[in-house]
Amino acid sequence: MKKQFLLLSLISLLLLTVSCKNEKIEAISNHEQFFADGVKTDLSFKCKELKKIKDIYVIDSINYCESKLPKSHDSISSYLNILDKYITTCDELLNHYETWDDDYDYWMRNKQETIEQKKFVENYIQYTKEENKLLCTEYVCVYTIKNPLLGGVKQEITKTYYISPNNKIIKTK
């Protein structure tokens, strides 16, 4: 009975591993064969090898985030307060300079940059609460396609992919 249970457990684990790998390959295939306008082109995508390099966790990104935060503030919350006040100031100036194009554009850019910085800080705060959360996994994929720009010539390509836990391609290189 124990042997049957172990055998079934091993088979289930193997099927799960194959299924997860197939999901990654499908995500890569879709990424490579869909263009920005949503049109899919059949490139005869064939995965030759998919190798997991490493998992990337929140803790791996925290040091990077900390290096981008200004050191001149006592705390993150005081920095957020300053960003909020600056956004409010930008709004007031935008209302005042609405008819002056150059000034309006200047304050609109400042406001957008400040909003982006605020989102970055808020994400950093959230990340520090989830240090062990998996952000993505780095894979190297070797695949072949038939390149239509080269008259259907078969090409072998090696590319690095960063894939989220829900199989979305975050970045390639």
| pLDDT at residue 48 tops 80 | yes
pLDDT tens digit sequence for 5-21:
444 444 443 333 444 56
pLDDT at residue 149, rounded to an integer:
80
The C-alpha atoms of residue 120 and residue 126 are separated, in whole angstroms, by: 10
- The residues spanned by each domain of the chain are 59-128
One-letter identity of residue 91: D
> Which of 88-97, 111-120, 136-145 is predicted with the least confidence, judged by mean pLDDT?
88-97
Percent of the chain with pLDDT over 90: 16
Q: What share of the chain is helix, strand, coil (3-state, %, to 5)?
A: 55, 25, 20
CB 133 within 8 A of CB 125: no
Instruction: Look up the pTM and report it.
Output: 0.61
Residues 6+ apart with CB under 8 A from 55: 134, 136, 137, 138
Which residue has 């998996």 as its token pair?
A: 134
pLDDT tens digit sequence for 77-110:
788 888 888 888 888 877 776 666 677 778 788 8
Tokens of 45: 């995508």
